[in-house]
Structure 1
């Protein structure tokens, strides 16, 4: 699904907030409807779309007006979008950062304009007013510990990176390397970015199959889109039953693949809680209420044994 700057039809849907919180939020905001700008990393990414959907759902419940835009993986565009929010005098900003460093000026500019900014799902080096997300180091530890256990602490592993420079990519690599250090008989054969993308991951996996063949024992993909791309390539090459594949996010496709046994495991990241809590936190800040500076939502390992719980 692709979303760009809100068109008139979608805008009408988003700007008509409803729910019991509407009058309270108007009253707390001087009689005006609270307006929050939202800039998301990429609406080509299924998990990010889910987070955005939950922000929109909670905004409708609370009677908050949203302006939602797609940064299309460009930190430069994201900074410009935040500048636009500032010019529109929004009450708060929610940002799903494209990059740790390159998206940081957006935080600095928002705070300089005295507009609170909440980072959701991903981080920046500049400290925002609040952060809502999960510990990405933990997610990689969970995934890699599963691989280490299944391989008995010995084997050759390939790692697919997400978009280089984004917090999730940096921290998931950090978590993975911690497990490699604890398991000296696990060898990292190769690692390369597939930019969170299924098609790019499939192409990369095809290249790796040609290069490493039967030497590959497992693949750690830093998100499910790439994990599914790896599964597709391995299946086409008749190698899937010989290679363990684990990824992160627990998107619907990945859950179905775990159920079928084609994807060995995924790590559940709670898009519903991230999106809803980000919006709730922004509203609390605008209303001058007490709020959590950092909200971390735990990850959970999903295997064939417990996947039905997550499919409900």
Structure 2
């Protein structure tokens, strides 16, 4: 009797494991994306917001390249609202968009929108910001700058500059964008890696300013007041915030490079001019103008070609010694 019971239990367990394995296998299957004919391409571009020069240039670049290639495109602006972005994607699908390009506000919150596209087989390209979903399953590919590299380059520049200045301890402020995006997470991680490598960074404050120049100016003013101006370097996760921090430093009577190092990310022409004027120390380029690469990838998909799960945009470190060399990379 016991032997028979053991045999039955064993069979039940084998059956359960088999079902679990089949379920796991099913969930791991790649999504079957339905690419449209080239003549029928209708791109839906879900933009996170238009609150900065970067996003404005990015959107106009997408529209310009689509027009040049003769493709239909519809654009939405979620204004930084994650629920609005999901609604935007639903609207674009209802309009008949058959390829979706998404700049996600939040890497997790975008998942319902990806699920809706997946249910219809509509290919999704993640642009400029990623998703915590899986390539090939939740989206086709992510095309963006290497945010970890950008943050790392900013940190290394500060470490080298501080070493030349003879600083044993570097009191650092990090001003973040809007928390939740992969750009904030990865630029922060890259900077943290550089800090660990340097071994002498002392973080005075890490605060968000939501990509805003005015907010960054206010955040920097508050930090300078609370620390008595005892700051050696400020790292801003975009140039808009770096320019805001520069205004706060000027108001406090502190000089960039002499008193405080100030590094941003993006490569705005305005920042390049500020570097030449000594109002910003350095920046790491992150060009918004790569819609050509986005459409080339879409065309590859329509042609049945294999698409890499991640495609990196190449960027450069720019300071007073290289600003003329890389000036044309600005926007």
TM-score, normalization: structure 1?
0.87
Q: Is the counterpart of residue 311 in structure 1 residue 318 in structure 2?
A: no
Residue in 2 aligned with 1:212? 227
Give the distance between the partners of 2:198 and 2:160, measured in 1 at CA.
10
Q: Aligned partners of 2:225, 2:180: CA distance in 1, in Å? A: 28
Aligned residues of 2:45 and 2:74 also touching (Cα < 8 A): yes
**Quick check: which has more Rg, 1 or 2?**
2
Q: Do the aligned partners of 1:108 and 1:126 also contact (CA within 8 Å) in 2?
A: no
2:247 matches 1:232 = yes
Decide whether the 8 Å contact of 1:223 with 1:249 is kept in 2.
yes
Q: Aligned-pair distance for 1:280?
A: 2.4
Matches within 5 A, 1:180-199: 180-199=195-214
Query: How do residues 139-178 of structure 1 correspond to structure 2 at under 5 angstroms?
Result: 139-152=150-163, 154-178=169-193
- What's the counterpart of residue 265 of structure 1? 282
Is 1:284 aligned with 2:295?
no
Aligned length: 284
Q: Which digits, 9 at most, give the CA deviation of each residue in 1:112-166, with x for residues without a partner?
A: 1110010001001123111110110100000010001111163100000110011
Q: CA RMSD in A?
A: 1.7
Aligned residue in 2 for 1:24: none
Q: SS where residue 187 of structure 1 aligns? A: strand
- Return 5+ residue gaps in structure 2 as ranges: 1-34
Per-residue deviation, residues 144-199 of structure 1 (Å, max 9, x unmatched): 10001111163100000110011100111111111221222210111100001000
Instruction: Say whether 1:44 aligns with 2:59.
Output: no
The ranges of structure 1 where at least 4 consecutive aligned residues each deviate by more than 6 angstroms after the TM superposition are none
Q: Which deviations, in whole Å up to 9, do the C-alpha atoms of 1:187-242 show, x marking residues without a partner? A: 01111000010000000011011011231000000100110000011011111341
Query: d(CA) in 2 for partners of 1:284 and 1:56?
Result: 19
TM-score, normalising length: structure 2: 0.82
- Aligned position for 1:122: 129
Please report how far the alpha carbon of residue 111 of structure 1 lies from its aligned counterpart in structure 2 after TM superposition: 1.2
Distance verdict in 2 for CA 1:109–1:146, change over 3 Å = same
Q: Secondary structure at the match of 1:271?
A: coil
Q: In structure 2, how many angstroms separate the alpha carbons of the residues matched to 1:104 and 1:304?
A: 42
Return closer, same or farther for 1:165/1:30 CA change in 2, 3 Å cut-off. Answer: closer
Aligned equivalent of 1:93: 100
Tell me if structure 2 keeps the 8 A contact 1:36–1:65: yes
Per the alignment, in what secondary structure is the counterpart of residue 188 of structure 2? helix
Structure 1 residue 31 displacement after superposition: 8.2
Per-residue displacement from partner, 1:84-118 (whole Å, max 9, x unpaired)? 12222212010011011111221121111110010
Unaligned ranges ≥5, structure 1: 1-27
CA distance in 2, matches of 1:222, 1:301: 14
